[in-house]
Amino acid sequence: MRSFLINRLSQSLVLLVIVSIIGFGVLNLIPGGPLAQYGLDPGMTQDDMARLTEQLGLNRPIWVQYFEWAGGLLQGDWGHSFRDGAPVLNVIGRHIVATLLLMGSSTAVAIAIGTWIGIRGATHRYSVFDYTATIGAMVALSIPTFWFGLIGIYVFSLRLSWFPAGNMYTIGDGSVLDVLHHLVMPSIVLALVHIAIWSRYMRSATLEAINQDFVKTARAKGLSERRVLIKHVVGNALLPMITLAGMQLPSVLTGALVTETVFTWPGMGRLFLDSLGYSDYPVVMGLLMFSAILVILGNLIADFIIAIVDPRIRLA
Amino acid sequence: MDDATMFPSPALGMSRRRAGPQFDPSTRRENSTMTVTTETASPQDLALSVHDLTISLPPGMERPYAVEGVSFQLERGKILCIIGESGSGKSVTANALMGFLPNPIKITSGTIHLEGMGIVGMPAEQLRSVRGRVVSMIFQDPLSALNPLMTVGEQITEVLLAHGVGTKQSRRARAVELLTEVGLPDPQLMYHQYPFRLSGGQRQRVMIAMALALEPAILIADEPTTALDVTTQAQILKLIRDIQRRKGMSVMFITHDFGVVAEIADDVVVMEKGKIVEQGDADQVLKSPSHPYTRRLLAAVPHLTGEDRSRTEKATAPVLKVENLVKTYRSGGVLFGKKRVVPAVNDISFEVAPGRTLGVVGESGSGKTSLGRLLIKLLDSDSGKILFEGRDIAGLREPEFRALRPSIQMIFQDPFASLNPRSTIGHILTVGPVAHGTPYSRARDEAKALLAHVGLDAGAFDRYPHEFSGGQRQRIGIARALMFKPKLLIADEAVSALDVSIQAQILQLLDQIQRETGVSMLFITHDLRVASQICDEIVVMQKGRIVEYGPPSQIFLSPQSAYTRELVAAIPGERPDLAVPDVLDSSAVAGTPKGRKS
C-alpha cells in the first residue's frame, strides 16, 4: 500500500515534469509572444518594448525561464499573470469552482444515465430500447459538442425560453436556484458524449458479467432476478467502469473547454482560451499543470476505489 | 428408515423451515417421519423423472433438437450419471431441469418432474422457489462459479436469505456448519474469505456447501470435477458420495469420463447427439454395454497400462538432454515492495532418445508447462543446460536459435485458440516453412501430402479453421508441427481438450507418426492414463521438481515415491474389478496405440 503510493507519486512527478517541459517548449514556439499585442500600438516605443521584455524576463534563454518558473512552482509560487499581474493561483481559483461544478454535474448525469441505459440494453438485448440506445449513442458520438450546444441554445433559449443561453448566473441574482437553472443546459450538452461512451461500455461489461458462471450459480440458489442483477451482475460490471471513469477525466476537461466557450461559462476552459489569445504564459502553464494534476489525481483515486471494491486487487 | 421418509414433501418442508431458524438434521428427520403419510407426490421412490423430453434448437444449428425424446428417472438416494461426449445434449438436459435454458432454446414437448412437481411451464416465481430448495446445482469451473466480489460466507447465507430462512445469526451459524461439513479448514476464517484466496478444490467444496444449504432433495452436478487435478478430483468425488449417503440425497451427475462413472454411479444414462442410446445399472452398462456407441466410448477410454512400450530402435545418443534446468518466477516491485519467488522448474534433468516419447505428468502448478516453454525457448532459463543434439541451446540468443527452431516444434492444448481464425489451413501450414526459406510451391505440395497423412482430405488446404471440429483442428496442429520435419515434438496437453473417442484417434496418429518419422516426443499431460498409453518413460513432477523418473511399468505398478502412489491411486475408475471390461478384449482395443505390441 505505502510502496504503491510512493511508486505512483514518483511516476506522477516524472509525468508532471515531462508535461511542463513540453508545455513550456510548445508555448515558446508560438510566434508573436506576450508582447505582440503591443506591436501595433503607436504609443509604444522601441524602448518601452525593451523595458517590458526586460521586466518580464523574456529576453533570457528559454531554459533559464523554464527553471525559474519551475523553481517558483516548487516553492508554491505559480507566477503572475502577464495581463493583470494577479497571482496565477488566484486567477485559477476564481474560475475553478465554475468548472468543477460543470464537470461534476455533467459527470454525475453521464454516469447515472449511461449506467442505466447500458444495463437495460444488456438485459433487453436486441429490443427496441437497445437499438434506439445504440443509434442514439452513435449520433451523440458523431456530432461535435458545440453543435449540440448551439442547437440547445436555439431551441431551449431562443424558441422556448426555458433556459438561459449562457453565463453562470443572472447579474444581481446569483442564488443557488439561479445557478442551477443556468447549469442545466451546459451540463447536459457536456454529458451527451459521455453518456454515449459510458452506456456502450456499460452494456458490454454487463453482457460479459451476465454470461459468467457465478450468475448462473446465483440463479441456481433461487435468488430473484432483481437481486441477481443488482448484487451479482452490476457489481462485477461496474469494476472496469471505475478505471474508465478515471480515464475519461481528460476528455471531460477538454469537453468543458468547448462547452464553456459555447455557453460563456466563466470556468477554466474559457480562461484557458482567453489566456492563450493574450499569450499569458504563466496562466496557460498554470492551467496546464493544474489539469495534469487533476487527471493524475483522478486516476489515482480510481485505482484506490478499485482496490477497495475488488478484494482480488491489492495495491502493491 | 426408508429412504423416502427422509424427505418431507417440498411444500411442508418449506413451511417448516420458514417457521424457525434451526437446521438440526435430527429435528428435521423427526418432522419428516410425521409428514410422510400425507405426501401426495407421484411415484414415491422417484426424485426426478424426465419423460419424452424434447428441446429444440434455433434454426441454423447443426441439428433441430438439442435433445429428443429423452426419458430417464433418478431414484431417491441414488446417483445417476449422464455420460456423453461434447454435443450429446447432457448439459442442456441438466440446465432444463433447473429451468435455465437460454432464450432461443425451448422445451417443445415432454415433462420434467422434480419431487413430483412438474416444472415445464411452471411460473418463474414458483420455479425460483424450487431452485436451491428442492434442487440445487454445482458447476464445472469452480473458478468462475463464485462471485469474486463476495465473501464465501455471504454467498452461502444468500441461499438461505433468498428463501427467507432463519435470522442473520442463524444463517451465519448454518454457513459455518456447512463449511465444516464439506471439510474446509478453519470454517470461521473461511466464512470471511474471498473466493480468489481458495484453491480449485476448496472452491468446489464451497459450491457444494452452498448447494447443500437448504438440504435439497436433488443435487445436479455438471462436470464438477473436470477442471480439477486428479487428486483433488478423487477427494471431491468422495465428498459428494459421502454427503449423498449421509443425507440420502439424490444426485444427477453429468460427466464425460467413464472413470468417474465407475467411481460414483448407481445408474447410467449414455447420450449421443441428443438421444439416449443406453441406460441402466452402472455395473451392467460398464461391464456389458449393449449399444455399439457405448462400446466404442468405453473402448476409447484410456486405461492405465503398466506395460512398457516395445523398443524398436537401439538406444543411441539422446536427441535432448536436460541438465539441472532451473527457472524461477519473480514478481513484485523492482524498487519497492516484497518480491514473490516461485521456483517453477527446479533442478531438472532428463533425456529423450530418438524416436522415443517422454511423458511429463503433474498436477497444475507442477511446472510441466513451464518446462515445455523453456525447451522451446519461449521462456529463458535461469541456469542449467538444454543439450539439443549435443549442443547447449539454453544460452542461445534468439537470432542464433532461430535456425534450430524448425527442429523443435510444439503441439498446443486448445485446438480452437491455436489456429488463426483468419488464415486458411494452407496458409497456416506453409507460412512457417516459407519464412525459413522453403519455396512456396514445395511447401504447398508438402502441406497437401501432410494433410492427407494426418487423415484430412486435400480440400482442407483452402478452408478456414472454423470449418473443422476439435479433433480435426488438432490434426491440423500436428500437421503444422510436422511441416518442419522436426526432431523433437513438444505436445503440451495435446489431447486434453478432446472427447475420449477423438483422444484415442489422436494418440494413435501421434504413435503412427513417431514410428514413420522417428521423431522424439515430449508429452506433457495431467492425465496419467493418457501418459501410460503413449510414453516410453515418464517424469513425474511436483512443485517444479522431478519426484520420479522411470518407465510406465515402474510408475504405475510399483511407484517409488509417495506422491506418485497418491497420483496413481487417485485415478478414477481404475478399480481392478472394472479395469478391462470383457467386451473390450476383442476388436475394440485396436483404437489404442499399445496395439502396436505385436
Summarize chain A as % helix, strand, coil (round to 5).
75, 0, 25
Closest residue on chain B to A236 (Cα): B149
Residue B411: name the closest of B317, B301, B304, B497 by CA: B497
**What is the structure's pLDDT at B586?**
37
Average pLDDT over residues A39-56: 75
CB B116 within 8 Å of CB B42: yes
CB B581 within 8 Å of CB B283: no
- Picking from A214, A219, A221, the nearest residue to B100 by CB comes out as A219
Residue B284 to residue B280: CA distance in whole angstroms: 7
Q: In this complex, is the C-beta atom of B122 within 8 Å of any C-beta atom belonging to chain A? A: no
Give B492-514 pLDDT, tens digit per residue: 888 887 888 888 888 989 999 99
- Picking from A4, A222, A232, the nearest residue to B163 by CB comes out as A222
pTM for the predicted model, two decimal places: 0.76
CB B529 within 8 Å of CB B304: yes
Closest residue on chain A to B338 (Cα): A316
Are residue B244 and residue B107 in the same domain, yes or no?
Answer: yes
What rounded mean pLDDT belongs to chain B? 82
Fold of A92-266: MetI-like fold (1.10.3720)
Give B418-470 pLDDT, tens digit per residue: 899 899 999 999 998 998 888 999 999 999 998 988 888 878 888 888 888 88
Residue B145 with chain A: CB contacts under 8 Å = 213-214, 216-217
Q: In this complex, is the C-beta atom of B149 within 8 Å of any C-beta atom belonging to chain A? A: yes
SS3 at position B489: strand
Copy the grid coordinates of residue B384. 542449467
Best mutation target among B147, B178, B219 (most A Cβ atoms within 10 Å) is: B147
Are residue B515 and residue B408 in the same domain, yes or no?
Answer: yes
Are residue B144 and residue B269 in the same domain, yes or no?
Answer: no
Residue B46 to residue B114: CA distance in whole angstroms: 8
Half-sphere exposure (CA, 13 Å, Cβ side) for B2? 10
Q: In this complex, is the C-beta atom of B203 within 8 Å of any C-beta atom belonging to chain A? A: no
End-to-end CA distance of chain B: 57
Are residue B393 and residue B513 in the same domain, yes or no?
Answer: yes
Record: contact B145-A217, CB cut-off 8 A: yes
Q: Give domain status of residue B440, yes or no.
A: no
- Cα distances from A146 to residues A248, A261, A263, in angstroms, run 19, 9, 9
CA torsion angle B465 B471 B476 B479 (round to 10)? 180
Q: In this complex, is the C-beta atom of B226 within 8 Å of any C-beta atom belonging to chain A? A: no
Query: Does B24 score more than 80 pLDDT?
Result: no
Are residue B297 and residue B223 in the same domain, yes or no?
Answer: yes
Q: Higher model confidence: residue B583 or residue A199?
A: A199
Closest residue on chain B to A311 (Cα): B149
Best mutation target among B14, B157, B158, B340 (most A Cβ atoms within 10 Å) is: B158
- Cα distances from B254 to residues A130, B112, B258, B584, in angstroms, run 36, 17, 11, 24
Residue A199: name the closest of A280, A129, A283, A133 by CA: A133
Residue A227: name the closest of B154, B123, B103 by CA: B154
Q: In this complex, is the C-beta atom of A6 within 8 Å of any C-beta atom belonging to chain B? A: yes
Residues 127-186 on A with a CB inside 8 Å of B are none
Q: 10 Å Cβ neighbour count for B159?
A: 30
- Picking from A3, A216, A312, the nearest residue to B148 by CB comes out as A312
What are the strands of the beta sheet with B383-388, ordered from one edge? Answer: B340-352, B320-331, B383-388, B391-392
Residue A216 with chain B: CB contacts under 8 Å = 100, 139, 145
Record: contact A311-B149, CB cut-off 8 A: yes
Q: Higher model confidence: residue B229 or residue B593?
A: B229
Give me the number of domains chain B comprises.
4
**What is the structure's pLDDT at B503?**
85
Average pLDDT over residues B332-341: 56
Query: What residues does each domain of chain A span?
Result: 92-266
- Picking from A7, A217, A311, the nearest residue to B336 by CB comes out as A7
Q: Give domain status of residue B13, yes or no.
A: yes
Give A135-141's long-range contacts (Cβ < 8 A, gap of 24+): A136/A196, A137/A195, A137/A196, A137/A197, A137/A199, A137/A200, A138/A196, A140/A192, A140/A193, A140/A195, A140/A196, A141/A193, A141/A196, A141/A197
Record: contact A236-B147, CB cut-off 8 A: yes
Query: Does B307 score more than 60 pLDDT?
Result: yes
Record: contact B98-A310, CB cut-off 8 A: no
SS3 at position B576: helix
Q: Say which CATH number the domain at B325 has.
A: 3.40.50.300
Are residue B262 and residue B349 in the same domain, yes or no?
Answer: no
Residue B98 to residue A218: CA distance in whole angstroms: 12
Tell me which of A105-114, B82-91, B258-267, B325-334 is least confident: B325-334
**What is the structure's pLDDT at A1?**
67
DSSP state of B594: G
Q: In this complex, is the C-beta atom of B336 within 8 Å of any C-beta atom belonging to chain A? A: yes
Q: Higher model confidence: residue A32 or residue A18?
A: A18
Give B173-216 pLDDT, tens digit per residue: 999 999 998 888 888 888 998 988 888 888 999 999 999 899 89
CB B95 within 8 Å of CB B282: no
Residue B128 with chain A: CB contacts under 8 Å = 222-224
User: What is the extent of the structural domain holding B31?
Assistant: 1-40
Residue A101: name the closest of A244, A262, A242, A268 by CA: A268
Which residue carries 456499460 as its cell? A202
Record: contact A220-B162, CB cut-off 8 A: no
Record: contact B144-A213, CB cut-off 8 A: yes
Residue B318 to residue B341: CA distance in whole angstroms: 33
Residue A127 to residue A77: CA distance in whole angstroms: 57
Q: In this complex, is the C-beta atom of A13 within 8 Å of any C-beta atom belonging to chain B? A: no
Average pLDDT over residues B207-235: 89
Chain CA centroid to CA A51, Å? 39
Query: Does B59 score more than 60 pLDDT?
Result: yes
Residue B220 to residue B140: CA distance in whole angstroms: 11
Query: Does A169 score more than 80 pLDDT?
Result: no
- Cα distances from B401 to residues B277, B369, B484, in angstroms, run 53, 20, 15
- Picking from A212, A223, A236, the nearest residue to B158 by CB comes out as A223
Residue B97 to residue B93: CA distance in whole angstroms: 6
Q: What percent of chain B has pLDDT over 70?
A: 86
Give A203-216 pLDDT, tens digit per residue: 999 999 988 889 98
Would you mind telling me the total number of residues written for chain A in this entry? 316
Q: Which helix (H) or strand (E) holds B442?
A: helix B440-453
**What is the structure's pLDDT at B524?**
92
Residue B270 to residue B284: CA distance in whole angstroms: 12
Quote the minimal CA–CA distance from B407 to chain A in Å.
Answer: 41
Q: In this complex, is the C-beta atom of B131 within 8 Å of any C-beta atom belonging to chain A? A: yes
Residue B341 to residue B546: CA distance in whole angstroms: 19
Residue A218 with chain B: CB contacts under 8 Å = 147, 158
User: For residue A61, with 0-12 CB atoms within 10 Å meaning exposed, 13-18 middle and 19 or more buried, which class applies?
Assistant: exposed
Q: In this complex, is the C-beta atom of B146 within 8 Å of any C-beta atom belonging to chain A? A: yes
Q: Give domain status of residue B130, yes or no.
A: no
Q: In this complex, is the C-beta atom of A212 within 8 Å of any C-beta atom belonging to chain B? A: yes
Residue A16: name the closest of A308, A288, A307 by CA: A288
Tell me which of A255-269, B335-349, B470-484, B566-580 is least confident: B566-580
Residue B104 with chain A: CB contacts under 8 Å = none
Give B510-527 pLDDT, tens digit per residue: 999 998 888 999 999 988
SS3 at position B524: strand
Give B113-128 pLDDT, tens digit per residue: 988 888 888 888 888 8
Residue B350 to residue A293: CA distance in whole angstroms: 57
Q: Give domain status of residue B481, yes or no.
A: no
- CA A62, A64, A70 angle in degrees (round to 5)? 100
Q: Give domain status of residue B456, yes or no.
A: no
Residue B593 to residue B591: CA distance in whole angstroms: 7
Query: Does B251 score more than 90 pLDDT?
Result: yes
- Picking from B144, B149, B337, the nearest residue to A316 by CB comes out as B337
Record: contact B144-A212, CB cut-off 8 A: yes
Q: In this complex, is the C-beta atom of B119 within 8 Å of any C-beta atom belonging to chain A? A: no
Residue A269 to residue A252: CA distance in whole angstroms: 11
Return the number of CB contacts < 8 Å for A and B: 88
CB A16 within 8 Å of CB A296: yes
Are residue B185 and residue B204 in the same domain, yes or no?
Answer: yes
Q: In this complex, is the C-beta atom of B333 within 8 Å of any C-beta atom belonging to chain A? A: yes
Give B83-96 pLDDT, tens digit per residue: 988 888 888 898 89
**What is the structure's pLDDT at B82?**
93
Residue A9 with chain B: CB contacts under 8 Å = none
**What is the structure's pLDDT at B22?**
41
Closest residue on chain A to B130 (Cα): A222
Average pLDDT over residues B53-75: 86
Q: Give domain status of residue B594, yes or no.
A: no
Residue A109 to residue B412: CA distance in whole angstroms: 49
Quote the minimal CA–CA distance from B145 to chain A in Å.
Answer: 4
Q: Give domain status of residue B357, yes or no.
A: yes
Q: In this complex, is the C-beta atom of A305 within 8 Å of any C-beta atom belonging to chain B? A: no
Residue B75: name the closest of B255, B355, B282, B292 by CA: B282
pLDDT confidence tier of residue A115, bands split at 50, 70 and 90: very high
Record: contact B132-A227, CB cut-off 8 A: no
Quote the minimal CA–CA distance from B370 to chain A in Å.
Answer: 25
Query: Does B130 score more than 70 pLDDT?
Result: yes
Residues 232-261 on A with a CB inside 8 Å of B are 232, 235-236, 239
SS3 at position B563: helix
Average pLDDT over residues B329-351: 72
For residue B32, what are the contacts with CB-CB under 8 A and spacing of at least 6?
Answer: B5, B6, B7, B8, B13
Quote the minimal CA–CA distance from B170 to chain A in Å.
Answer: 18
Quote the minimal CA–CA distance from A224 to chain B in Å.
Answer: 7
Name the phi and psi angles at B110, rounded to 5: 100, 170
Average pLDDT over residues A264-273: 86
Residue B95 to residue A194: CA distance in whole angstroms: 39
pLDDT confidence tier of residue A135, bands split at 50, 70 and 90: very high
